Amino acid sequence: MAWCAWNAATSNAFDCEQVIASKSDRDVADTSLLGQVPFLYNSSLSTDAAAGTINATLTRKTAAELALPATTAGGYDAVIRAANKDVGLRGALLAQTGRPGLISLYNQLLPNHSSSIFDTAAAATQAFAQPLDDRQDPRGGGFWLQETNLGLFSSGSDDDPGYKAFSFGLVGGYELPATALGILGVTVGGAANTIYPDNVVSSADLHSSMMEAGIYWRASRGGFSANAELV
């Protein structure tokens, strides 16, 4: 009778090389004896004609053998070690007999690893600066206010899920009347960002708030305009 057990030292749920059949007339290993092997493992059969036995060996695949992308491969061993401590999680991993199901489950066990939060923050910061590029009034002076809204969409892939992100905010400021050296002003902006990663539960959605304040200079002469901001 064959048996395989979780090996905590090697993080291999199946770590075995056991006799699974004994027939003196069987010289070629029949892989059907293995049944349905979890996709997480490589499996092989070997025969010992002299002893009349067939041995099964199961070894956990490496991150390279699973073709994990660089963004998620680093957490592979840690995830397997964590699965050793949770019966339900271990069973879910071992129940996957194909790569799509295993990768989908694996990605759910990882923290958000895409650049979504950074892409959204960068886009919101750019939106705060856009009103200065749009202002062409050569006289300056007074208050101004502008709404900022944006959406980002990344289709991703099976190995690296995409996301949908939205940002809603306001940016405004006050500037002094124009002088020979240009126009000086102060600006402040704020935005609320929400990111919806693909293929995850709603509790994994990301929310962030941003505030930005600074001083700026701008000048307009005919069809030429320039500005600079310190935040």
Q: Is the pTM of this model over 0.85?
A: no
Mark whether 223 and 125 lie in a shared domain.
yes
Q: How many domains is the chain partitioned into structurally?
A: 2
Rounded to the nearest 5 degrees, what angle is found at the Cα of 88, between the Cα atoms of 83 and 93?
A: 55
Mark whether 140 and 185 lie in a shared domain.
yes
Mark whether 38 and 103 lie in a shared domain.
yes
- Asked if the structure places residue 42 within a domain, the reply is yes
Domain boundary among 71, 89, 108: 108
Mark whether 199 and 155 lie in a shared domain.
yes
Mark whether 83 and 134 lie in a shared domain.
no
The DSSP-derived string for 112-166 is P-SSHHHHHHHHHHHHHHHHHHH---SSEEEEEEEEEEEEEEEEE-SSSEEEEEE
Mark whether 152 and 208 lie in a shared domain.
yes
Mark whether 163 and 187 lie in a shared domain.
yes
Domain boundary among 50, 74, 108: 108
pLDDT, tens digit only, all 231 positions of the chain: 343 434 444 444 444 444 444 444 444 445 555 567 889 988 887 887 788 777 778 889 999 999 888 778 888 898 888 888 888 888 899 899 888 888 888 877 876 656 788 889 999 999 999 998 888 888 889 999 999 999 999 886 656 667 899 999 999 999 999 999 999 999 999 999 999 887 666 666 889 999 999 999 999 887 788 999 998
Domain boundary among 83, 108, 133: 108
Distance between CA atoms of residues 66 and 41, nearest Å: 10
Mark whether 219 and 155 lie in a shared domain.
yes
pLDDT of residue 199: 66
- Asked if the structure places residue 58 within a domain, the reply is yes
- Asked if the structure places residue 10 within a domain, the reply is no
Mark whether 122 and 104 lie in a shared domain.
no
pLDDT of residue 24: 40
- Asked if the structure places residue 133 within a domain, the reply is yes
- Asked if the structure places residue 181 within a domain, the reply is yes
Mark whether 31 and 56 lie in a shared domain.
yes
Mark whether 102 and 136 lie in a shared domain.
no
- Asked if the structure places residue 174 within a domain, the reply is yes
Distances (CA, A) of 55 to 26, 52, 129: 12, 10, 68
Distance between CA atoms of residues 88 and 78, nearest Å: 17
Mark whether 60 and 166 lie in a shared domain.
no
- Asked if the structure places residue 216 within a domain, the reply is yes
Q: Residue 216 is part of which domain span?
A: 116-230
- Asked if the structure places residue 192 within a domain, the reply is yes
Task: Please say whether the beta carbons of 122 and 212 come within 8 A.
Answer: no
